[in-house]
A and B are shown apart, each in its own frame.
Chain A
């Protein structure tokens, strides 16, 4: 049995999956001040009458880190950066970084040594500091300077946590790595406390199954590993729902998925069975980070969106004033329209009709008004999807072949999950002339996603055969490359070995390795080739542990 818990902003969903089916599903209100209590309440309700010894895994998607940052409940971080010469970093990184001399160039050569004396001086001025982040330009090409500074901090300060830029991301972008490292350090202590509480509470309930945490990229990692990378668990709500779509539908063709919740609709794109990733990374509190996420667009439209008239014209969302009037809420909502149109069966239909009648004109039936609300809501979603499609088509590519034969994203299928999906997804699909599907358990897709997400990890390997060196930033290592004439295939193999190494440390099995990107370039001096530069990204293939049978999906074909 697999347990998935998704702590959302308003509600927490939990599912128990057994025999390829959702055996139990529960929904409890989220207590933003006490997430642990929320998790345990959901867990206790879920496990009534269940033998806890049958639980194989508990996976958690939590807003803890997001909330901590939004509410400013973070630790002060001693942030040291080694920007070297280049663009101005001021205003682009949070906190008040201390600049050390020392930098690495784009080939990974140390051009100036780390300013350890400056570090010692700075440390004397912050004797109480226990949490640190260290980030250097091009540290992904050579993590040595970051390592030296971290080691020196370790000797001088008895730190609780030092997060290095290269360890949180193997990708280029000094500013994003710096910010990832900063936030990782800033939420570190809070996450330790939460993780400790969760472990203790589960042990008390005699649940000895391993605990996993969902990451923003839709994979899970064991709680023990997550403790070192808490920033990865930011924004996992949308990731959970995307994973849920994968578990429930396995979209093989190009698809658009909509997670239509209470206040927002999250839009994601799918290509050959996998969701598309954001090319850059998540933004936290206005700062760009290197946290990998799905390419998602969130719009302020959901079942609870407030519907009103402004000089006769319908206005929908993005504000939420409360639940639907059908459920005793204060103002008319999209859900009320869906209830009136018989596209949704919740609450009191009479109250929903009363809600919609508030928005009707004389001579216009409440059914017509409900239809108007539903169409306008669908139109808002369609506009957002179209904008996202246009952005996708306009994303830069760097090869001639990709311009001449563009790999266009043209969705064929629309998948709806979340509370408002049954009502709205078919209408949007009709507007876009797409087939549609709303799978069974669509209401708890997020919790299913958390329950079923596979453990994943990734690493980046860059080999420079002229310099006879290679680096794996996530592991903080730079080593001699013995074979000057090594090939891309060998580099891929080497990357696989290091991924295996990282997975072993993290306690994750490696069933399937997937190459996420690779590059091979010649290095030429004068007119002769002196070496090659290889960059390879590999990951444990993300996905789901078991398919849920979703025979009861609602589907619609093209008219």
Chain B
């Protein structure tokens, strides 16, 4: 298809009107009801610039490519997760097949708090739909270099976790400071493991940040970083809870702020994440983003109660300016810093963490080890166990073989798994093999 025949925007709208985490949970049936009303009333689905798509269902194999479910991913998810992940894939394929310039997967349930290892639901997420989409594209379209810009108010800790060791994926998240908001992470010192150091960029913003602060960060940090990184595609994890009316956060961004962000970022694919001001923000923010992504005039998309939007304090501005300055310095020096980090690490790098699943009321203890290799990107081993009030204890030992792991690493990985199994101590032994696109329970 010739580029001129492409429609500016593909829209996968999937509000999942029959799915909720629980009846009064913020992630419930009517979350996108008022958005649907606004989108249809504005006649957006009739615009020749916009093509609506029906989501396909992702397969379990699509999920297994990203996640290690304990005991398996199928038992931890619902059909809705397969549809929202499939919706992201549908949106991306519209772009990759040349049907649309860019796409917006306006789907739920969201995914950016779902990590590589999944024991249950955390931060309303069980499947990382962006990661499932990206790995699908890498598998089927030979995609390599990807940038993800997470504009949700909450730190995208799941996406960060999945790409923490991947130098080909630049993950940038700006969010309300983790000291004041779930999930309590996303500080600048979380910057990727040594082999991928500074391909994770966290920009924690003070509560009360407005359009002004968000656009300073965008103009002075995010856009220059993207220009330097030169990704093949840009993904926007388009959470909408930086809005001044969001009930779960404390920021002060407007629909105009989000629409201008979409216009500047020019993401190839945007995927909805959070945003729980379902009546006062989402209808306007979504219309703004859709219009901006379709290259249409969004300047008149204004919330009826816009006068409520706070003004940014001088102190907030100063904090943001300092953050930008610090990051610019580090970013300019990134090659040296990464080489230093790698040299310090030696043969392997390990981290131990406690991961809390707020929705499932589970606490996971995880030890993750990257084994470095001179001839490939190495090997990842994970030991995980979880326990909670409402669940039985679960544990697993997992080995992840990369797409390009060398034969030596592949053997080392399989040996590590067998050894772990001989030693006992875990209930499940899992081999995720990216080259063969398979997951094996040994």
Contact = CB atoms under 8 A, between A and B. Distances in A.
Interface in B253-268: none
Nearest to A402: B18
Which of A85, A397, A404, A522 has the most chain B CB atoms inside 10 A of its CB? A85
Contacts of B287: 86-87
Interface string A487-520: 0000000000000000000000000000000010
B46 A87 contact: no
Given A106-B38, A173-B41, A400 B18 contact: yes
Interface in A521-549: 521-524, 526-529, 533
Nearest to A525: B247
A280 B52 CA distance: 13
Nearest to A112: B304
A521 B57 contact: no
Given A106-B34, A521-B29, A527-B24, A398 B83 contact: no
Contacts of B300: 85-88
A398 B41 contact: no
Contacts of A111: 304
A387 interface: no
A79 to B, nearest CB: 16
Interface string A4-43: 0000000000000000000000000000000000000000
Contacts of B7: none
Interface residues of A, number: 39
B16 A173 contact: no
Given A87-B287, A173-B46, A396-B52, A138 B79 contact: no
Contact of B54 (A105, A396, A401, A519): A396
Given A396-B13, A522-B23, A288 B83 contact: no
Contacts of B194: none
Contacts of A138: 41
B301 A87 contact: yes
B192 interface: no
A342 interface: no
Given A87-B44, A106-B34, A522-B29, A398 B23 contact: no
Contact of A398 (B15, B42, B296, B297): B15
B41 A174 contact: yes
A394 interface: yes
Nearest to B41: A172
A88 B14 CA distance: 24
A394 B99 CA distance: 15
B37 A172 contact: yes
A174 B46 contact: no
A59 B371 CA distance: 82
Contacts of B78: 400
Interface in B120-136: none
Interface in B272-322: 279, 283, 287, 291, 296-298, 300-302, 304
A137 B54 contact: no
A395 interface: yes
Interface in A64-121: 85-88, 92, 105-107, 111-112
A404 B44 contact: no
27 contacts: A86-B287, A86-B301, A87-B42, A87-B43, A87-B296, A88-B300, A111-B304, A173-B43, A174-B42, A176-B43, A280-B46, A288-B43, A398-B13, A398-B15, A398-B17, A400-B18, A400-B79, A403-B54, A521-B17, A521-B30, A521-B33, A522-B28, A526-B247, A528-B24, A529-B24, A533-B30, A533-B33
Given A404-B57, A522-B24, A529-B23, 9 more contacts: A107-B34, A111-B304, A172-B40, A173-B46, A280-B45, A400-B80, A403-B83, A526-B247, A527-B25
